[in-house]
Amino acid sequence: MKGWLAIAGLGPGDADLVTPQVSAALEEATDLVGYGPYVARVAPREGLLRHETDNREELERARHAIAMAMEGRRVVVVSSGDPGVFAMASAVFEAVEAGPPVWRDLDIRVLPGVTAMLAAAARAGAPLGHDFCAINLSDNLKPWEVIARRLRLAVEADFAMALYNPRSKARPEGFGRALTLLREVCAAERVLVFARAVSTPEESLRVATLAAATPEMADMRTVVLVGSSLTRLIARDGGPLVYTPRSALP
Amino acid sequence: MKGWLAIAGLGPGDADLVTPQVSAALEEATDLVGYGPYVARVAPREGLLRHETDNREELERARHAIAMAMEGRRVVVVSSGDPGVFAMASAVFEAVEAGPPVWRDLDIRVLPGVTAMLAAAARAGAPLGHDFCAINLSDNLKPWEVIARRLRLAVEADFAMALYNPRSKARPEGFGRALTLLREVCAAERVLVFARAVSTPEESLRVATLAAATPEMADMRTVVLVGSSLTRLIARDGGPLVYTPRSALP
């Protein structure tokens, strides 16, 4: 039997946001690999082996998935959101590059998904409606100086921003430092959206100006959207709409 | 009857990449509004009126959709990819903000989708696997100087980049200028991915170094991904894999 490896994005949480392509791969799979809470989002069925791992063992998880596929298994590695955005796809390709040459012949497919920033933006309005960037605030894999530099340059470019992994128990201080930095270079009225666990029962959405934002508004399930200088609020009952106009003409 | 407006992303082309959430909205809709080729992607059915418009009339199209929903119709505005990324969502909210106050009471939902850069990245490997930005190269709504400045700052930040709308018949020269600018500030081996019409029968994918890239490799159906300085190629039969490592540690 010819094995394959699919690296699939489960979207932000709601089953209605999983693409039919990903659902089909999950139906054909013999093995499911991923971080426990993501594996838990896939319904058990006969013939589907589940391999749950800790969130910090990405490279080992990738090697295990590749090795199983090389043995003829049909393996799906699951990520939340999109697998190519701060998720498992890069880890798998790092493992492929460092692994035995025969791993390059494996049938590997990346199945895209709705990444957290797009789901969060949709809930808020259209804050990413003009040029934007996505920055992972975790300093596990890059020095804080690189993050700080990117934040400053993103403000200088007047990008809207999506900040992934703003805050975790292991790194409680990073997002506070990012807020301090943003306050040095942006106006106090800059609009931020704190989107937590979008499309799940725990969803919450909070809009705040940079002046009013606090580190505690973010946790590890939050993506923070920072508007550009042109991002606007439309006041209405039930919370404002946030959008960035298409035009940056003077 | 209470009307509503959904601004829905159809994904990059393949029906297997349309979320169930979007499919459900399309089934409930009375009216479908959008640019002709996107409306054409939705199967006709009894009870669904189709309103096709030219690509350059976004604000007028948005007003028309809102007005119908205010009259009690169930209206879906369709975009390719994700509606919040260089698509219809911002146009609708611009119309809402400028329109009569009663428009703010309308039930408006944005239904996210798989945007072109994520589908393109998935086909190539994981070129957006580290921090990245998305820049619309169309100078319809911003001066070229803003685009040039953002490209330079994105290189300085060492973002990978997704360049939307690189080239059209009306703007044949913009992408060539972007390439010239990138050659001034990036190494010749910088990796580019030209992803055309991903997930459609017309799909093509081409990987080129910055030195070898030409303006003709892009057209209006292409999204161009530009790697960061760390983006790598994995050589293999059937074309290289392109990925950006998770780590930017020195």
Q: Domains, chain B, ranges and CATH?
A: 4-114 (3.40.1010.10), 117-243 (3.30.950.10)
CB pair distance less than 8 Å for B105 and A236: yes
Number of Cβ atoms within 10 Å of the Cβ of A48: 17
CB pair distance less than 8 Å for A21 and B18: no
Which residues on A lie below 8 Å from B154 (Cβ)? 133, 153, 157
The per-residue DSSP string of A69-90 comes to HHTT-EEEEEESB-TTSSSHHH
Q: What is the pLDDT of residue A173?
A: 86
Which residues on B lie below 8 Å from A193 (Cβ)? none
Which residues on A lie below 8 Å from B248 (Cβ)? 141-143, 146
* A46-65 pLDDT tens trace: 999 999 987 668 999 999 99
User: Which of B24, B133, B156 lies closest to A133 in CB terms?
Assistant: B133
Q: Is the pTM of this model over 0.80?
A: yes
Which residues on A lie below 8 Å from B135 (Cβ)? 131
Percent of chain B with pLDDT over 90: 89
Per-residue model confidence as pLDDT tens for chain A (250 residues): 689 999 999 999 999 999 999 999 999 999 999 999 999 999 999 999 999 987 668 999 999 999 999 999 999 999 999 999 999 999 999 999 999 999 999 999 999 999 999 999 999 999 999 999 999 999 888 999 999 999 999 999 999 999 999 987 777 788 999 999 999 999 999 999 999 999 999 999 999 999 999 999 999 999 999 999 999 999 998 899 999 999 888 6
Task: Give, in degrees to the nearest 5, the angle at Cα B54 between B50 and B56.
Answer: 135
User: Which of A18, A21, A245 lies closest to B94 in CB terms?
Assistant: A245
CB pair distance less than 8 Å for A153 and B150: no
For residue A224, the cross-strand partners are A163, A194
Q: In which region does residue A97 sit, left (phi positive, over 0), alpha (psi from -120 to 50) or beta (all else)?
A: alpha
Q: What is the pLDDT of residue A207?
A: 98
Question: What part of A 172-231 touches B (C-beta under 8 Å)?
Answer: none
Smallest Cα–Cα separation from A7: which of A97, A98, A95, A90? A90
The chain A residue lying nearest B85, using CA atoms, is A129
CB pair distance less than 8 Å for B129 and A90: yes
Cβ proximity of A193 and A205 under 8 Å: yes
**Low-confidence stretches of chain B (pLDDT beneath 70):** 1, 55-56
* Structural tokens at position B184: 């001034």
Which residues on A lie below 8 Å from B91 (Cβ)? 246
Which residues on B lie below 8 Å from A144 (Cβ)? none
CB pair distance less than 8 Å for B104 and A236: yes
Cβ proximity of B62 and B98 under 8 Å: no
CB pair distance less than 8 Å for A129 and B89: yes
Residue B56 sits at the chain A interface (C-beta within 8 Å): no
CB pair distance less than 8 Å for A241 and B93: yes
User: Which of B20, B115, B247 lies closest to A118 in CB terms?
Assistant: B115
CB pair distance less than 8 Å for B89 and A243: yes
Cβ proximity of A108 and A7 under 8 Å: yes
User: Which of A15, A83, A118 lies closest to B84 in CB terms?
Assistant: A118
The chain A residue lying nearest B87, using CA atoms, is A129
The per-residue DSSP string of chain B comes to ---EEEEEE-BSS-GGGS-HHHHHHHHH-SEEEEEHHHHTTSPP-TT-EEEEE-TT-HHHHHHHHHHHHHTT-EEEEEESB-TTSSSHHHHHHHHHHHS-GGGGGSEEEEE----HHHHHHHHHEETTSSSEEEEE---SSS-HHHHHHHHHHHHHTT-EEEEES---SS-SSHHHHHHHHHHHHS-TT-EEEEEESTTSTT-EEEEEETTT--GGG--TTEEEEE--TT-EEE--TTS-EEE--S----
Q: In angstroms, rounded to a whole number, what is the distance separating the alpha carbons of residues A90 and A77?
A: 12
CB pair distance less than 8 Å for B110 and A96: no
Q: What is the pLDDT of residue A164?
A: 97
CB pair distance less than 8 Å for B90 and A129: yes
